[in-house]
Amino acid sequence: MSAPSLDLAPARGLLPRASSKGTMGVLTAILEARTGQQLAANREWRVETVLKPVLRDLGLETLDALATAAQHSTAIGDRVADALLNQESSFFRDAAVFEMVADAVDSLRATKLNRRPRVWSAGCSFGQEPLSLAMLFAERGADQHDLPPEIIASDVSEAALARARSGRYSQFEIQRGLPIRRMVRWFDGDGVDWVAKTELVRRINYRRLNLVTDPPPVGRFDVILCRNVLLYLTIELRRQILDRLATVLRPGGVLVLGAGETVIGQTEAFRPSARYRGLYEPAVREG
Amino acid sequence: MKTCLVVDDSKVIRKVARHILETLNFRVSEAGDGREALDACLVSAPDVVLLDWNMPVMSGMDFLRALRDSAIPTRPKVVFCTTENGMAHIRAAIEAGADEYVMKPFDRETLESKLQIVGMA
């Protein structure tokens, strides 16, 4: 029998150390310049761990060398930023949120909507969130309508999007939040990985989008999920992004943030939803 | 405090699972095969059974079928925890009445996630 893996603290002594605050500063500045995200001091320990594969691939021995290379190469800088992004995600994270989103889409149906409901997963990481939405919509029969929901999923990281588009997950990833019956229904085993069925992945329109610098996707949305993204940004950037999201959320639409995130004190563009606990709606409704 | 019966013929696996479950605030008991587990359930059914597939004396599947046919008033949630990671085994477990399925090797997050799915964490 295989032994289960246990959480182990990073073996710091075995890793190439950042030799100075200067190197750490350069690496975190690269992340911020490309994504707007800041690296909290209490997460700096991750830097050495997540950059180790990049060092290995590039044949570099120290973080100092990587920092220097990243300053002179856009491609290496992109790899550093991708590695430093916190891509932690899981299927049906905060399961009640997904039920509320599906309820919101169902309630649109009840209004005899003559267009496709539009849902945007902003900061989709490796794709667990949009796939969870696609599964839920399909199971609720939304796809059997003439106008099934449109799911747009975006992320700042091209590498994360490539993973998302592949629909491929490790044994550990597939077991985070995904009930076994759904796994059996919507995924196929492929070696040690599990791959989402094509019919599921094709329901999602993936695109690269930097929330800090790029305009939102064209058109307006009924639901926007932007979860556990804003917490890594400055207050000013959060406000700017929230205000931008408000411009593309339809009247009556809902905004979903992460469990530890809020609009309160960040923007006047949203207010807590009266219908869906923990979700937000545009503060100013149009006629 | 929820109770969990860990059923596995490997002492190492039982020890690791116990450690994780206790950090998740479970009271843990152990059995080395399906027969021992069934006897334990007949005396006092736990809230959850974490169940290996391949064991001597009585396999996990035979335990599950026996549990289904038993007169235990409150059936525990049954979460398979096994190296049998193929789709055919998973489908068979679901058809036999398993509530969830953990593919080994596992870690704390996996176990916690699966227990949340069955409403136990």
Domains and CATH numbers, chain A: 14-84 (1.10.155), 95-282 (3.40.50.150)
Pairing of strands B2-7, A270-272: unpaired
Q: Which of A169, A180, A184, A186 to mutate to test the interface with B (most CBs of B within 10 A)?
A: A180
Query: Are the Cβ atoms of B87 and A171 closer than 8 angstroms?
Result: no
How many Å apart are CA B51 and CA B68, to the nearest integer? Answer: 14
Is the alpha carbon torsion for A218, A157, A198, A151 positive or negative? negative
Cβ–Cβ below 8 Å for A6 and B10: no
Least confident span in A129-143, B39-53, B91-105: A129-143
Q: Does B106 touch chain A (CB under 8 A)?
A: yes
Phi, psi of B102 (to 5 degrees): -110, 125
Q: Please say whether the dihedral angle defined by the alpha carbons of residues A243, A245, A251 and A254, taken in this order, is positive or negative.
A: negative
Query: What are A257's strand-pairing partners?
Result: A226
* Terminal-residue alpha carbon distance, chain B: 10
Smallest CA–CA distance, residue A173 to chain B, in Å, is 9
pLDDT at residue A20, rounded to an integer: 57
Q: What is the per-residue DSSP string for B13-52? A: HHHHHHHHHHHTTEEEEEESSHHHHHHHHHHS--SEEEE-
Using an 8 Å Cβ cutoff, are B111 and B24 in contact?
A: yes
CA atoms in the 13 A half-sphere facing the CB of B96: 22
Lowest model confidence (mean pLDDT) among A35-39, A160-164, A181-185, B4-8? A35-39
Task: Measure in Å the smallest separation between the Cα of B38 and chain A Cα atoms.
Answer: 22
Q: Place A145 in a pLDDT band, splitting at 50, 70 and 90.
A: low
Residue B90 touches partner A, C-beta closer than 8 Å: yes
Q: What is the ipTM of this complex?
A: 0.94
C-alpha dihedral (A40, A238, A159, A193), degrees to nearest 10: 80
Contacts of A132 in chain B (CB under 8 A): none
Can you name the residues that pair with B5 across neighbouring β-strands? B29, B49
Q: Do the Cβ atoms of A1 and B94 come within 8 Å?
A: no
Query: Cα(A224)–Cα(B78) distance, rounded to whole angstroms?
Result: 37
| pLDDT at residue A142, rounded to an integer | 65
- Interface touch A175/B103, C-beta < 8 Å: yes
Q: Kindly report the average pLDDT of chain B as a whole number.
A: 96
Q: Is A167 left (phi over 0), alpha (psi -120 to 50) or beta?
A: left
Q: CB distance from B83 to chain A under 8 Å?
A: yes
User: What's residue A108's pLDDT?
Assistant: 86
- Say whether residue B6 is in contact with chain A using an 8 A CB cutoff: no
Please determine, for residue A12, whether its predicted confidence score (pLDDT) is greater than 70.
Answer: no
Find the radius of gyration of the CA atoms of chain B: 13
Nearest-neighbour CA in chain B from A169: distance (Å): 14
The 10s digit of each residue's pLDDT in B20-44 is 999 999 999 999 999 999 999 999 9
Classified by CATH at the fold level, domain B2-117 comes out as Rossmann fold (3.40.50)
Which residues of chain A approach chain B closer than 8 Å at the C-beta? Answer: 1-7, 90, 171-172, 175-177, 179-181, 183-184, 188-189
What pTM did the predictor assign? 0.87
- The Cα B107–Cα B44 span in angstroms is 28
Tell me the C-alpha distance between A275 and A121, whole Å: 20
Least confident of A17-31, A144-158, A239-253: A17-31
Asked whether the predicted pLDDT for residue A5 surpasses 80, the reply is no
What is the spatial distance between Cα A135 and Cα A186, in angstroms, rounded to a whole number? 8
User: Shortest CB distance from A4 goes to which of B13, B91, B94?
Assistant: B13
CA distance A105 to A253: 9
In the structure, what pLDDT confidence band is assigned to residue B73 with cuts at 50, 70 and 90? confident
Answer whether residue A287 shows pLDDT above 80: no
Q: Which residues of B touch A5 (CB under 8 A)?
A: 105-107
Among A35-44, A138-147, A190-199, the range with the most confident prediction by mean pLDDT is: A190-199
Query: How far away is chain A from the Cα of B5, in angstroms, using its nearest Cα?
Result: 18
Spans of all domains in chain B: 2-117
Q: Could you tell me the two tokens for A42?
A: 């209490």
Residue A48 CA to residue A217 CA, distance in Å, equals 35
Q: Which residue has the tokens 């309820």?
A: A103
Residues of A in contact with B12 (CB under 8 A): 3
